[in-house]
Amino acid sequence: MSAAVTSDLDEITRLSRKLGADPSVVLHGGGNTSIKGRVLDVVGDEVDVVWVKGSGWDLGTITPEGFAPLRRDRLLRLLELDTLSDSAMVNELRQASLDAAAPTASIEALLHAFLPARVVLHSHADAIVALTNQPGGARAVEQALGRAVHVLPYIKPGFALARAVAGAGAALAATDALVLCHHGLFTFGDDPDAVLERHLQLIELASRAAGAREWGAPGPAVERAGDPVEVAALRSEVSRAAGRPVILVQSTSSRAMSYAARPDVAAVTARGPATPEHLIYTKRRPMVGRDVDAFVADHQRYVAEHRAGDQEIVEIDPAPRVVLDPQLGLLTVGRTARAAAVVHDIALHTMDIVEAADRAGGYLSLDEAGCFAMEYWELEQAKLRSATDLPEFTGEVAVVTGAASGIGRACAQRLLDLGAAVVGVDLDPAVVDSFDSPVWRGMVGDVAEAEVMRRAAEVAARDYGGVDILVIGAGIFPPGAPLARLDEVEWRRALSVNATAVAVAFRELHPYLALAPRGGRVVLVSTKNVAAPGPNVAAYSASKAAAAQTARVAALEWARDGIRVNHVEPDAVFDTSLWTADLLATRAASYGLTVEEYKTRNLLGIEVTSRMVAEAVAQLCSSAFVATTGAHITVDGGNDRLV
């Protein structure tokens, strides 16, 4: 790559990151940027190139690799056509690229190519949208930003928009800024920093006119209200409408709580999204209250009225993405926790845009037909048709006890790998930071205490929507001793952690498991000692046997609730905190074996690991075992006392 090309890419990357650093200017992948230059192609010909932000890249974090190098002359030729479908246009953009490995260029690429300026910056700034989303929006823009800014009515992004901008020729020649109603702002020029400064100045003017100094601020965090079981019940209904498990997050935003409590919230929020691009995440309007069936019926009416006759479309599921409830506040829905977080941010920014527009001429969004055209845009339909399957437990939530180390930690890791959100509980404070992930919550506490498990269930419900999976991994292995020298303190401690804690967890989490969209799943990490105890471990064997009996009763009682309860019975898993070097040496000696011989004393002669146990746990929770409950799966390499 030549020094000139590197300089161009470094420059547009720097500008893009500055523009994308402010979510009120560029929110979750919105906006796009470009820079023009000249390069030599493979045969040595000089080519005019426009580097356009790649689709799916975020301006706030973009790198030079995120820009697609396109032959500008080819794009300008496309604008001479009378019509071109957007899917055909995307195909042409790919063919115009000088690098087959580059990302597909933004849908706005033709517009960037047409504007003659070297640098073009585009954002969906809240302040600009607040000005345009009102009756007489074009006039509001002129009053706030001056007549030098050219204003166009809303046109769906793509070929039609690029043609409309190209048709504005003379008007654009006299300006360095363009506002698209319901869409956003373009600034352009040859001096990169001047273009950025102009962009931000216009947004500042729009903010002043809108009477807002900040956008999308959540306000102080508040304690989330309502019964967490009610949150789980709502998530169950939303998942049913979506046809799959979803993550549902109850917001801590005081701003959102007060907005949800507005007596006119249903009317205020029924008027459509701030920008049509938000539809892909949020749908046209929120669900107010908890009547999922009514929301679904209205969405089905909307689709039926606006689809073109027998037009073949991939219908988007009718479940809400934003919920505003006077008691529960704001709740956001996504297939993943990240998707729900994106919806949350968009919802907060939309609240400010709506209220700013209402302070002026009144908020006005696209009508239903315009929203449908964007929501069922052929490019979005293509994404739906080509969507790949997500991991097994995407949209589901697990609670794992004993999650700081050993088998419990391995189970948490495997469930995270398979797409689940996980709440881990352990006495060890290390549980808090066991995993660096937005779908991990580590809680410190004694699993034998009801309040600890009650709190774990509440965190799972409010942060992710409910509980689908419970893995009991917590346990202790008291010091070995014959019954003739029974230590009552150790006996009671073993019963508390290994048995009572299991019953407590079952009681506290049952209401949530019964609401799991795919049916609740429980796996007890048991032991071969239940069926084949060894000498000198009465406290451990008896307490684990009590836990196993408790799980068997749960399997009997909970089948009618659709909850599967199964056992994984490992043996000789030595990479856990239960097995210190001294204990391992003592147990090996009691069998007359070396430590290595003791580790592989099973029929297969292999060392059993925590990861092997975790894989068995995950499989029992998967759809592969949908018809299995009350099962006992050994993970021990084969034991001659059991076989």
CATH number at residue 263: 3.40.225
Residues 161, 243 within the same domain? no
Radius of gyration of the chain (CA): 30
pLDDT mean over 618-637: 97
The verdict on pTM exceeding 0.85 is: yes
Handedness of CA 528, 529, 535, 540 (dihedral sign): positive
Whether 316 shows a pLDDT value over 90: the answer reads yes
pLDDT mean over 379-403: 90
pLDDT mean over 105-120: 95
What is the longest distance spanned by two Cα atoms in the chain? 100
Domain containing 71 — which CATH number? 3.40.225.10
Supply the pLDDT for residue 459. Answer: 98
Domain containing 621 — which CATH number? 3.40.50.720
Residues 449, 566 within the same domain? yes
80-83 long-range contacts (CB < 8 A, ≥24 apart) are 81/159, 83/159
Whether 52 shows a pLDDT value over 90: the answer reads yes
What does the pLDDT look like over 455-499, one tens digit per residue? 999 999 999 999 999 999 999 988 889 999 999 999 999 999 999
Number of domains in the chain: 3
Supply the pLDDT for residue 480. Answer: 84
Whether 4 shows a pLDDT value over 70: the answer reads no
Residues 467, 371 within the same domain? no
Supply the pLDDT for residue 387. Answer: 75
Residues 199, 248 within the same domain? no
Q: Is residue 218 part of a domain?
A: no
Q: Check: CB of residue 223 under 8 Å from CB of residue 462.
A: no
Residues 410, 488 within the same domain? yes
Supply the pLDDT for residue 424. Answer: 98
Q: If you search the block for the tokens 């949020």, which residue do you land on?
A: 282
Q: Which of 340, 363, 385 is the last residue of a domain?
A: 385
Mean pLDDT for the chain? Answer: 94
Q: Is residue 591 part of a domain?
A: no
Burial zone of 150 (CB within 10 Å; 0-12 exposed, 13-18 middle, 19+ buried)? buried
Residues 256, 121 within the same domain? no
Annotation marks residue 464 as catalytic: no
Q: Is residue 592 part of a domain?
A: no
The residue from 376, 540, 591, 598 that is catalytic is 540
Whether 634 shows a pLDDT value over 90: the answer reads yes
Residues 420, 520 within the same domain? yes
Supply the pLDDT for residue 579. Answer: 78
Secondary structure (3-state) at 470: strand
Residues 515, 482 within the same domain? yes
Handedness of CA 509, 511, 513, 515 (dihedral sign): negative
Secondary structure (3-state) at 142: helix
Residues 365, 506 within the same domain? no
Whether 310 shows a pLDDT value over 70: the answer reads no
Phi, psi (rounded to 5 degrees) for 491: -60, -50
Q: 179 has which bridge partners?
A: 151, 185
Q: Check: CB of residue 575 under 8 Å from CB of residue 569.
A: no
Supply the pLDDT for residue 1. Answer: 61
Range from 139-143, 482-486, 514-518, 579-583 carrying the lowest mean pLDDT: 579-583
Q: Is residue 223 part of a domain?
A: no
Supply the pLDDT for residue 49. Answer: 97
pLDDT mean over 155-172: 88
Q: Is residue 273 part of a domain?
A: yes
Q: Is residue 270 part of a domain?
A: yes
Residues 280, 199 within the same domain? no
Q: Which of 323, 351, 385 is the last residue of a domain?
A: 385
Residues 502, 619 within the same domain? yes
Q: Which residue range(s) make up the domain with 286? A: 228-385
Residues 351, 409 within the same domain? no
Q: Is residue 593 part of a domain?
A: no
Query: β-pairing, 119-123 with 32-40?
Result: antiparallel
Whether 169 shows a pLDDT value over 80: the answer reads no
Q: How confident is the model at residue 5 (pLDDT cuts 50, 70, 90)?
A: low
